[in-house]
Amino acid sequence: MVAAWLFLGEEAVVAPTGFGVALLKMVLALVLVCVLAFLLLRFLRRRLTPSTPGPLLRVVESCPLTSRQSVWIVEAAGRYFLVGATEGALQRLAELDPAEVEAHRQNSPEAGPVRFLDILRGKRQGGKERE
């Protein structure tokens, strides 16, 4: 075993060296780095996590136009907006009349997606059998 000599004032202190000591130092350094990374990520998560929308904001409906473009109807504090979304920006296209939006939502049934199995069985989108 090789010993390193440290001089502190008038005394000489022997610091042990070797594989075991180096391994212990490496494990302690790794634990310290992991703890610091955990604390940093926990701190940044609080700062960078977007807040969830409250009761005053909700997406009523969305319609994808292409893989990078879509149109949304957004309700904000009782007002309805038509919003265009692209890869880099959001743009308000129009403000919609709340009475008209609610009337359309009441009159249109939630049809859901057309299933291929229903088409094979001869059913239409409304659930009626073809004759």
Task: Dihedral sign for Cα 75, 76, 82, 86, please.
Answer: negative
Q: pLDDT tens digits, residue range 59-118?
A: 888 888 888 888 888 888 888 898 998 888 889 988 888 888 877 777 765 545 545 555
Overall domain count for the chain = 2
71 within a domain of the structure (yes/no): yes
Provide the pLDDT confidence category of residue 131 given band limits of 50, 70 and 90.
very low
Range of the domain at 9: 3-48
70 within a domain of the structure (yes/no): yes
Q: Are residues 71 and 108 in the same domain?
A: yes
27 within a domain of the structure (yes/no): yes
Q: Are residues 64 and 116 in the same domain?
A: yes
